[in-house]
Amino acid sequence: MSKIKTTNTVQLIKKANELVESRYRFDIWETRVMAKMITLISKNDADFKNYRIYLKDIQEEFGLTKNKDAYKRLKEGARRLMDRTVKIVFDTPEGKKELETKVIVGVETLVQKNSFIDVTFHPNMRPFLLQLKSKFLMYDIKNILRIPSVHSIRIYELLKQYEKIGHRMFTIEELKHILSIEDQYKLYGHLKSRIILKAQEDLKKHTDIYFDFKEFKQGRSVHRIKFFIYTNKANTSTQNDKITITEIEPSSLDSPFMIKLIDLIGSWGVPKKKIEKYIKQYDEKYILSRISYVQHQIKVKAKRGDRITNLGGYLHTLMELKDWVNPIQEKKEQVLNKRHVLENHNRQKAHLKEEERQLKTELHNREIEIIQSLFLKDETAKQAAIELAKKAPMVSYDNNKSIDKNLQENFLFRVAVYNKAKELYPELFIDLKQSYQERIKRVRNELNKL
């Protein structure tokens, strides 16, 4: 893949939470068209417009400059998107409703030149993309440019919603429903390896968050999964502050958060205008982290009989330090990270041990099937194994009972018969043993690496 264009321009994807959690299935090209269209919406747009997507932009931003079929795939992706529907559940005064709607309604292209396409959203999408004031997700498109998996992008959005909370829980059925894969991955192990672990790898490598997870069982099956969400410092830049500056709504200056800040730091001598400036420049987590640290320092100094003489100035200094990290919070996160890493390590270890146990059980059952088949076809082979088993130590064969009764009731005798059959006819088990032993060895190697 060619290099992805790097730029300081922030291109925001902003969508209502209901749309993030809606049910749909797009392929990667349809997802790219949709994502690019959303970045072209202005926060002041009262209605949808024709949005022009230039091939050159898509190629550079998604790293497709060497892809000769990019325009064809882009156009085909847009046309397929015309046939796609989303199912969005939303609240109304009458209760929850589900809207099933088309996503886009028109695709226009130049006949002679392959330079751009013009597309527009379906009117039903207005409440979920235009003039959003609350309950929406916003992130820079840069986070998904390099992700090759549609499901990884969906999981990124679902977890990004809960980044400030730090965790999110889904039942397996809920997650499959949102991803529209109810008819796939009947075994949880396949869902885990092909969707969840792939998303974990993609997010860690490409986005501003990463996650760990914990499985909860109902009986012997995994029923729920809890995602633990962390800031990915390796991929986080100061562009997050720029996003907040350009997207803050004026009405938020009278929001509950504004009132909360006045209550928290107004007594520190911080004027209302400066609080408004903080809200415009920084996000909530950025501000509260610094306030929390000042509150902690007040308590620490009070225990020493000391105090901070200029609380407002002290806070302002922290506000100006863009790369500052709250040492208390960082320590808590380190402890949590270590705990989650240990939990994940133990889960992986338990999973591998269970996989090894299942492989051994499968091997044993397959061997028994071969022996039973042999005995049905060859009575002489059965009698030979039985006679040898009778002489085996610790077997205690009961001569007062029939052979079948001994096989049925005497576990040690039954095991001895099977073992003698394997000794007499080893050629019947060579390929089976080799196949399973290789798989067991791979599992043990993974266990040794932990």
Model confidence over 14-52: pLDDT tens digits?
Answer: 888 888 888 888 888 888 888 888 888 887 788 888 888
Would you say residue 1 has pLDDT above 60? no
Task: Identify the band that residue 370 occupies on the pLDDT scale cut at 50, 70 and 90.
Answer: very high
> pLDDT per residue over 64-106, tens digit each?
666 667 767 777 888 888 888 999 988 777 778 889 999 888 7
> In the prediction, which pLDDT does 52 show?
86
- Closest CA relative to residue 208, chosen from 241, 180, 186, 256: 241
pLDDT band at residue 174 under the 50/70/90 scheme? very high
Mean pLDDT (the chain) is 83
Q: Is the pLDDT of residue 206 over 80?
A: yes
Residue 383 — pLDDT band, cuts 50, 70, 90? very high
Look at residue 109 and tell me whether its pLDDT is greater than 80. no
State the average pLDDT over residues 215-237: 86
Answer yes or no: is pLDDT of 240 > 60: no
What was the pLDDT predicted at 95? 78
> Which tops the pLDDT comparison, 135 or 244?
135
| Structure-model confidence comparison of residues 170 and 324, the more confident one | 170
241 pLDDT band, cuts 50/70/90, is very low
The pLDDT score that the predictor gives to residue 250 is 36
CATH of 1-133, one of 1.10.10.10, 3.40.50.1000, 2.60.120.10, 2.40.110.10: 1.10.10.10
Residue 242 is predicted with a pLDDT of: 37
**Would you place residue 387 in the very low, low, confident or very high pLDDT band (cuts 50, 70, 90)?**
very high
* Per-domain boundaries in the chain: 1-133, 147-240, 248-325, 331-449
> Average pLDDT, stretch 247-259?
49
Give the tens place of pLDDT for each residue, 257-270: 667 677 778 888 88
Query: What's the whole-number mean pLDDT along residues 199-216?
Result: 93
**In this predicted structure, what is the pLDDT of residue 238?**
39
- At 257 the pLDDT is 64
Q: CATH topology for 147-240? A: Arc Repressor Mutant, subunit A (1.10.10)
pLDDT tens readout for residues 60-75: 777 666 666 776 777 7
Asked if residue 358 has pLDDT above 60, the reply is yes
pLDDT of 423 > 90? The answer is: yes
Task: Provide, rounded to the nearest whole percent, the portion of the chain with pLDDT above 70.
Answer: 88
pLDDT in tens, 398-420: 889 998 898 889 999 999 999 99
Residue 8 has pLDDT above 60, yes or no: no
Note the pLDDT of residue 374.
Answer: 93
